[in-house]
Amino acid sequence: MAAIRAMTIASNSTCSLLTKSPFLLRQKPLAYSLCLKNLKLRCPSSRRSYTCRAIYNPEVQVKEEGQPETLDYRVFFVDKSGKKVSPWHDVPLQLGTDVFNFIVEIPKESDAKMEVATDEPFTPIKQDTKKGKLRYYPYNINWNYGLLPQTWEDPSHANSEVEGAFGDNDPVDVVEIGETRRKIGEVVKVKPLAALAMIDEGELDWKIVAISLDDPKASFVNDVDDVEKHFPGTLTAIRDWFRDYKIPDGKPPNKFGLGNKPANKDYALKVIAETNESWNKLVKRSIPAGELSLV
C-alpha cells in the first residue's frame, strides 16, 4: 500500500478503479476484483462481480463486511496481497486533461445516505448515521452522487469568494448527471462541467456537476451552458434538491454562494486543483488531521 500511496501522491495524472454491487439489490456480501491496467471496464453477465483494468498492475479487490442497511456494513478495498487501501487516499484523482476519477457513494434514484468514512482506517464506504440510526434522504436523489478522491475541503481555510465560508472537512462531492444508474463503490471516469458552492450550516460544501465519459451525451456537454442545452432544467433541479433536502427534518434550507448560480467548468477545475492541494498538505501532515484517517 505504501508503494501505491507514494505513486498517487507523486502524480495525480494516473488512474485506478473499483466497483461494487448494487446496494438496492440487498445481496449478501460479495468480493470484487480489479486489475489496474488499461482503463477498460469489463463486465461479465453476472451482476455479482466485475473487473476493471487501469495503468497500475497490482490486483485490487473490493469486499463487503456486514449486511447492507446495518450499522456495521462496510465496503473495503484491498490490494492483491490482501492489504487494505483507501478509496479516498489511494485512488488517483486525475486520469488526464480534465478527466477525473469519481467514486460512487449513492446511486441515482436511491435514498440511503452512503459515504466514505473519513475517520475510520482505510476509509471504507458505510451508511451515515445520526443518533445511532441509519440515515436516509427524505426522497430519492436523482443523480449519481459521490466524491473525488485525493481532494479535501480544509476546515481551517475561509473562502473569500464564497462568503468567507470554511471547508466542511470532507472530500469534494460530485453530482454525475449521466443516464446510467451506477453502483456503490464503482469508479467512473468523468469530466467536470460546473460547480455549485453550497453553504451547509455555514460550511462550504462544493458540488461538482460532472458527466461520465461513457454517457451518450458526453461529447456534446463540455461546460455549464451545454448542461442547460442538453439537460434542460438539471442545474436548477440539482441546486433545489440540495437546498431543500433537510427541510423535512425541520432544518432551514441550505444556501449557495457565487450569486446562487453554477460556476463554469474552469471554475470547477480551479476548485478541484485547490482541494487537491489541500489534500496533499493533509497527507503530508502539513495540516493537522484531527480525527481524519490518513491510512
Give the active site residue among 32, 50, 73, 137: 137
Reply yes or no on whether 137 is catalytic.
Answer: yes
Beta bridge partners of 34: 60
Query: Which residue, chain included where needed, has cell 486533461?
Result: 97
| Contact by Cβ (8 Å): 149, 92 | yes
**How far is Cα 219 from Cα 252, in angstroms, rounded to an integer?**
38
3-state SS class at 159 = strand
Q: How many CA atoms lie within 13 A of 30 on its CB side?
A: 18
Grid cell digits, residue 99: 478527466
Q: Do the bridges between strand 114-116 and strand 125-127 make them parallel or antiparallel, or are there none, so unpaired?
A: antiparallel
**How far is Cα 107 from Cα 118, in angstroms, rounded to an integer?**
20
Q: How many CA atoms lie within 13 A of 161 on its CB side?
A: 10
Instruction: Give the residue from 5, 184, 171, 17 showing the smallest Cα distance to 99.
Output: 17
Q: Give catalytic residues, as residue numbers.
A: 137
